[in-house]
């Protein structure tokens, strides 16, 4: 089958036949993401929707403020449908307000992570020709300086919006607070091919952007809510960065908003902060990456806080060891749910009523009956059940192409439009997936993804570096850490200088190699590629 081609907007649509099938089955509806919030405000106007520090919003207040902000974006900033805006926000209420308000007027936000720095933010603003960057103070990071530098370099970036303390704001920036216009109507949204951008964990030299539509994303949220049983009684603690696909949509904050539940934002992921919030707000569900789950497991037996309201702990983003998984129920007295998902779409869950043996030893199964998965060998042929193979997926919420990346799309999508996940899995007899390895040049550092090639490209810019390879090294706590192996012909710089060099280039901290080693040559495979397995033996 021919791959559907990319539209001028950079978006690859689903083939018409698939669209018809998803619509007829009722998976795809016409509702937009802001309409979902409005529907909940209609049903639960007085319920608390969102808590962030000492601020809280009822559903009505949230929906009203989204309208006011949408009017400000449109009338004060002159943002129009089809414009792009980069959101670089920590876990504060302004994240959801801005997200919904931009969607409401058809502006397509790029959901950057708080850990991103100058290099990534500049790239997103440049690649999408973003008109606005919405940012806020963050502990230990000069986000104002990042925004200012990016704006000075990119004439397309017209506005910096600052969501926080005025005294820290970049010169020339606009206060988010000044953009709420009451009693001002917004023009109705013009339909766009897609709603916003998620970010790919990446395997290539430059980060890839993932266009998600209102329709596919809302379907994934609705299907997640069914599996995870989110309701108006759900109280969700958002510990991971709010912009990430896992806490945003699996079912995450959007699932909670759809069901009429309450989202509580945790300003930091430490168990101390989170446990206090669990007690104060009677939290019922939270989502973590494995290293944080380990910290929670260690802290729980000695905490002074009452965390008995917690019913479900979701863990995903990276492999959770069976040994750790077994500790969750006895230690936290709640159900573990493993979540194996990706910003490109497919999300697998263990079910809440699965036997414990399934919950601790598998990463679950696709959430939707319409998800189609293939487990294949290098030739693209299906492997027998029980044998490890590469996971490929398509379905009603899995993208058919990255944004404006035709060459990369040729490699990432196979015949039939299946997305090549790069994950090596085993399908169990019961139909659950176990993630057993990876067939992509990526390091999964406790859930934070690093594209080896991206870091190698940066390293090669250093004068003393003749050749570079970045590999994953096993780590008890993070699962993996990164190691850069460098070939230097003359003077070897100190590892600390290499790290400083990368930091000065403005890379996110999690991408800075944990170790730097020097080798005489990089081992090669018979076809001349760097032999990273061999390299690992040298570490």
Contact 242/91 with Cβ under 8 angstroms? yes
Q: How many CB atoms lie within 10 A of CB 377?
A: 12
Interatomic CA distance for residues 380 and 139, integer angstroms: 47
Q: Strand ranges (DSSP E) for 232-324?
A: 235-238, 262-265, 285-288, 312-316
The nearer residue to ligand OOB, 246 or 275, going by C-beta atoms, is 246
What are 219's two structure tokens?
Answer: 């379907």
Smallest gap from residue 364 Cβ to ligand OOB (A): 8
**Torsion sign (Cα): 51, 252, 135, 265:** positive
The token duo for 168 is 């820290």
Q: How far is the CB of 252 from ligand OOB (least distance, A)?
A: 8
Q: How far is CA 136 from the centre of its chain?
A: 19
Please, which residue, 38 or 344, has the CB nearer to ligand OOB? Answer: 344
Comparing C-alpha atoms, which of 121, 103, 258, 131 is closest to residue 196? 103
Smallest distance from the beta carbon of 222 to ligand OOB, in angstroms? Answer: 15
- Supply the minimum distance, in Å, between the C-beta of residue 251 and ligand OOB: 10
Q: Which residue, 251 or 493, has its beta carbon nearer to ligand OOB?
A: 251
Specify the residue, 164 or 389, whose C-beta has the smaller distance to ligand OOB.
389
The Cα angle at residue 32 between residues 30 and 34, in degrees rounded to 5: 155
Kindly give, in sequence order, each residue whose CB lies less than 8 Å from that of residue 466, ignoring residues fewer than 6 positions away. 486, 487, 488, 489
Three-state secondary structure call for residue 392: strand
Q: How far is the CB of 263 from ligand OOB (least distance, A)?
A: 16
DSSP 317: S
Give the Cβ contact number of residue 186 at 10 Å: 19
Q: In terms of Cα–Cα distance, which of 446, 522, 515 is closest to 484?
A: 515
Of 275 and 340, the one with the shorter C-beta distance to ligand OOB is: 340
> Between residues 57 and 246, which has the closer beta carbon with respect to ligand OOB?
246
Cα angle: 69, vertex 74, 80; to 5 degrees: 130
Supply the DSSP string of 196-232, one letter for each residue: EEEE----SSS--EEEE-HHHHHHHHHHHHHHHT--T
Instruction: In angstroms, give the least distance from the CB of 349 to ligand OOB.
Output: 9
Q: Which helix (H) or strand (E) holds 334?
A: none
| Rounded-to-integer distance, Cα 104 and Cα 409, Å | 29
Closer CB to ligand OOB, residue 12 or residue 74?
A: 12
Q: Which of 72, 241 has the CB closer to ligand OOB?
A: 241
Q: Which residue is nearest to ligand OOB (CB)?
A: 341
Query: Which is nearer to ligand OOB, 192 or 442 (by Cβ)?
Result: 442
Least Å distance, CB 262 to ligand OOB, is 21
Distance CA 241, CA 465 (A): 34
Pick the closer one to ligand OOB by CB: 105 or 324: 324
The per-residue DSSP string of 457-522 comes to HHHHTSTT-SEEEEEEEEETTTEEEEEEEEE-SSPPPPHHHHHHHHHHTT--GGGS-SEEEE-SS-
Q: How far apart are CA 217 and CA 195, in angstroms?
A: 9
Instruction: Tell me which residues touch ligand OOB (CB under 6 A).
Output: 201, 245-246, 250, 316-319, 338-343, 347, 363, 421, 423, 435, 444, 449
Closest CB 94 distance from ligand OOB, rounded Å: 23
* Region of residue 129 (left: phi > 0; alpha: psi -120 to 50; beta: else): left
Nearer to ligand OOB, 10 or 202 (CB): 202
Positive or negative, the Cα torsion across 157, 159, 163, 167? positive
Measured from the CB atom, is 159 or 234 closer to ligand OOB?
A: 234
Q: How far is the CB of 124 from ligand OOB (least distance, A)?
A: 16
- In the complex with ligand OOB, the residue whose CB is nearer, 399 or 507, is 399
- How many C-beta atoms lie closer than 10 Å to residue 136's C-beta? 24
Helix-helix angle 33-43:93-104, to 10 degrees: 110
């Amino acid at each position: 089958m021919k791959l559907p081609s990319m539209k001028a907007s950079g978006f690859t649509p689903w083939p018409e036949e698939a669209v018809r099938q998803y619509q007829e089955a009722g998976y795809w509806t016409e509702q937009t993401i802001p309409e979902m919030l409005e529907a909940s405000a209609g049903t639960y106007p007085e319920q608390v929707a969102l808590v962030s520090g000492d601020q809280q919003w009822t559903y009505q207040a949230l929906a009203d403020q989204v309208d006011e902000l949408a009017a400000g974006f449109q009338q004060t900033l002159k943002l129009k449908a089809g414009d792009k805006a980069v959101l670089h926000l920590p876990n504060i209420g302004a994240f959801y307000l801005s997200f919904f308000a931009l969607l409401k007027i058809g502006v397509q936000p790029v959901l950057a992570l708080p850990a991103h720095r100058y290099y990534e933010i500049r790239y997103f603003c440049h690649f999408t020709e973003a008109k606005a960057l919405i940012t806020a103070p963050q502990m230990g990071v000069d986000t104002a300086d990042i925004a200012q530098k990016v704006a000075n370099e990119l004439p397309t970036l017209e506005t910096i919006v600052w969501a926080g303390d005025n005294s820290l704001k970049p010169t020339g920036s606009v206060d988010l607070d000044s953009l709420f216009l009451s009693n001002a109507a917004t023009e109705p949204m013009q339909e766009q091919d897609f709603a916003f951008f998620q970010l790919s964990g990446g395997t290539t030299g430059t980060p890839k952007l993932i266009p998600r539509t209102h329709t596919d994303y809302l379907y994934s949220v609705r299907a997640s809510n069914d599996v995870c049983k989110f309701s108006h009684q759900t109280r969700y603690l958002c510990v991971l960065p709010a912009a990430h696909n896992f806490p945003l949509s699996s079912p995450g904050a959007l699932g909670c908003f759809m069901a009429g539940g309450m989202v509580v934002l945790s300003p930091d992921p430490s168990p101390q902060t989170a446990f206090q919030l669990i007690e104060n707000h009677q939290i019922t569900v939270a989502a973590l990456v494995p290293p944080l789950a380990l910290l929670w497991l260690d802290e729980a037996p000695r905490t002074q806080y009452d965390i008995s309201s917690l019913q479900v702990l979701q863990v995903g983003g990276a492999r959770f060891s069976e040994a750790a998984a077994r500790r969750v129920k006895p230690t936290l007295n709640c159900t573990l749910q493993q979540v194996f998902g990706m910003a490109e779409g497919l999300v697998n869950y263990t079910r809440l009523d699965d036997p414990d043996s399934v919950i601790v030893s598998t990463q679950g199964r696709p959430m939707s009956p319409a998800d189609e998965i293939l487990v294949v060998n290098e030739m693209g042929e299906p492997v027998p059940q029980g044998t490890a193979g590469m996971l490929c997926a398509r379905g009603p919420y899995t993208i058919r192409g990255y944004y404006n990346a035709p060459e990369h799309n040729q490699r990432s999508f196979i015949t039939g439009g299946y997305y090549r996940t790069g994950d090596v899995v085993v399908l169990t007899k019961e139909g659950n997936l176990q993630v057993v390895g990876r067939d992509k040049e990526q390091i999964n550092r406790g859930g934070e993804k690093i594209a080896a090639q991206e870091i190698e490209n940066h390293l090669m810019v250093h004068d003393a570096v003749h050749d570079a390879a970045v590999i994953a090294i096993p780590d008890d706590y993070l699962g993996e850490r990164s190691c850069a192996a460098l070939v230097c012909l003359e003077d070897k710089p100190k590892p600390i200088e290499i790290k400083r060099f990368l930091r000065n280039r403005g890379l996110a901290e999690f991408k800075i190699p944990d170790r730097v080693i020097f080798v005489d040559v990089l081992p090669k495979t018979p076809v001349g590629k760097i032999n990273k397995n061999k390299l690992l033996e040298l570490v």
